[in-house]
Amino acid sequence: MTHRHVALPASAETYQLGEGPVWDAARERLLWVDIVAGTVLAGRLDPAAGTVEVTGRHTFDETVGAVAVAAAGDLVVAERAVVTRLDVTGERTELARVLPAGVGSRLNDGAVDPAGRFLVGSLAQDARRGGEVLVRLDDDRCVVLDRDLYLSNGLAWSPGGDRFYSIDTDPGTVWVRDYDPATGAVGRRQESFTVADGSPDGMCVDASGNLWIAVWGRGRVECRTPAGRVLATVEVAAPHTSSVAFAGPDLDLLVITTARQDLTREDLAEHPDSGRLFTARVGARGLALPYWVPPAVPAASS
């Protein structure tokens, strides 16, 4: 039996390409990005009402694909080609260049692994097909996990941290591989399943190990087992559902980002809430997200 839920609009603002919700439990705030606006946003979540009020924003010169947070509150931000640290004072420091200058790609979805390392993938902004990367930052060094992707997207780990899921949107593939959080070593990549109806985008895993996947172009989120069986769907009044995260003190509220990008005037008239955040109670709880561990500061020479 497939359970069906309906999400409700949660934000007053709309975003061109809302993405990457992250629950920062220590500060009881929600973080997300508007990719094309180059903006990182923070908001106050009202769990009872299921609404989000914007409390802060940081704007960058180019696109922003993803954000994650450290235990002390510093942010790690995937800009168009580089990964940047934004500390609590607002100071920005480039940590690593992921994409070489002149390449027609940008960084996209990112997430923190169970040991606190930041991973991020890329997508092409031109007609190239394939050749996109998924990398992990080990301090300031980029370790390439994949270099044959079409559109790197959702990243998530099993409750035990020993299985790593990643999405390649264009072929609709959800990949899985063994993962050693202690060392970052990965096993052979295997196809877990394929989403045939719509384009799988952002993803999170719940406490039972099931995957919640935003399906771009279909206005829904799907809950699937690791083998791909659909357990539940969440209907969203916005065709371009982009990503998901469990939020709130009890991690029992599903937050869904959506987009207005690539919708016609007729589409927007039919779906005026496109671009808003949505929330839904789905009878599941999420996993507490690990905090990003910033690279060690080199000791000053005497």
Q: What is the pLDDT of residues 169-223, one digit of tens each?
A: 999 999 999 999 999 999 999 999 999 999 999 999 999 999 999 999 999 999 9
Torsion of CA 76, 173, 206, 28, to 10 degrees: 20
CATH class label, 3-280? mainly beta
pLDDT tens, 248-258?
A: 999 999 999 99
pLDDT tens, 52-81?
A: 999 999 999 999 999 999 999 999 999 999
Indicate the pTM of the whole model.
0.96
Domain boundaries, the chain: 3-280
Residue 299 has pLDDT above 50, yes or no: no
Residues belonging to the active site: 201
Q: How many residues does the chain have?
A: 302
Residues 172-187, buried b or exposed e (16+ Cβ, 10 A)? bbbbbbebebeeeeee
Residue 298 has pLDDT above 70, yes or no: no
Residue 302 has pLDDT above 50, yes or no: no
Q: What pLDDT shows up at residue 39? A: 98
Residue 9 has pLDDT above 60, yes or no: yes
Q: Could you tell me the sign of the dihedral formed by the alpha carbons of 90, 92, 98, 104, in that order?
A: positive
Q: Give alpha helix (H) positions in the chain.
A: 265-270
Q: Of 34-38, 267-271, 292-296, which range is least confident?
A: 292-296
d(CA 96, CA 142): 7
Name the band, by pLDDT with cuts 50, 70 and 90, for residue 139. confident
